[in-house]
Amino acid sequence: MIRTVFVIAVIAVMAVPVALVTIPWFLVTGQLMPLYSAAFFIVRLAFKLAGISLHAEGLENIPTGKACIFMANHVSNLDPPVLTSIIPGRTSVFYKNSLGKIPILGYAMRLAEFVPVTRSGDLEAAQQSARQAKAVLARGIHITTFVEGTRSRDGKLLPFKKGPFYLAQDSGAPCVPVSISGTETMMHKGSMQVLPGTARVVFHPPLYAADFPDREALMQAVRLSIATGLPESMRS
């Protein structure tokens, strides 16, 4: 637990001066990449201090020059920073609307064009999130989504949410299935303790909604692809 507290303290100490420099820079110049790059420098430093190493496979499968929808499984709170720090270029992510209320963090996420979502089941709110995500893709920014919608407690694949697949059909963007393993042992659901280890991230060949008869077929293809990159014990 001491390691966890130390890592959080380092992030907090570094985040404030970085935000004070890069946010005004963005407001003056309109250039977001200094803020984006600085944030992930802090993330990678935090991983190093926590004894976490990253192992990525299949980066060559990511289409170049196209905004993609990265569809990953979800087993730990470490998954978002692990995955987004590896993806080439800039990516937006879906985040819980409540996180936007956190000072500095919420403002930074809005600047980064992250897409807020609610879990209320409200149709209008879901449609608004989908429209915002489609607009982000149109600007050449990737979208990263965890298609189970929540973390799996035992590491096995849960049922997928349909929202990302509606987005895939509506936008025509390449869907890149992603398998994440290893993080489930480094930060368990319900715990704040971070343990050292290796996070393995596998990027699979892209899938296109236009190549499938319906959303269900695309969803099953993404599920199968993700499963092939997971240890046998994590396949449902």
Domain holding 97: CATH number?
3.40.1130.10
Residue 119, pLDDT > 70, answer no
Flag whether 57 is in a domain.
yes
Flag whether 29 is in a domain.
no
Residue 189, pLDDT > 80, answer no
Residue 139 tokens read as 């600007």
Flag whether 154 is in a domain.
yes
Q: What pLDDT sits at residue 141?
A: 94
pLDDT in tens, 104-117: 677 777 877 888 88
Residue 204, pLDDT > 80, answer yes
C-beta of residue 76 within 8 angstroms of C-beta of residue 183: yes
Q: Which of 15-29, 60-74, 79-93 has the lowest mean pLDDT?
A: 15-29
Residue 89, pLDDT > 70, answer yes
Q: Could you tell me the residue range of the domain that residue 203 belongs to?
A: 53-234
Flag whether 91 is in a domain.
yes
Flag whether 43 is in a domain.
no
Residue 1, pLDDT > 70, answer no
CB neighbour class for 110 (10 Å; exposed up to 12, middle 13-18, buried from 19): exposed
User: 7: helix, coil or strand?
Assistant: helix
- If one counts the domains in the chain, the total is 1
Flag whether 30 is in a domain.
no
Flag whether 23 is in a domain.
no
Flag whether 224 is in a domain.
yes
Q: What pLDDT sits at residue 170?
A: 92
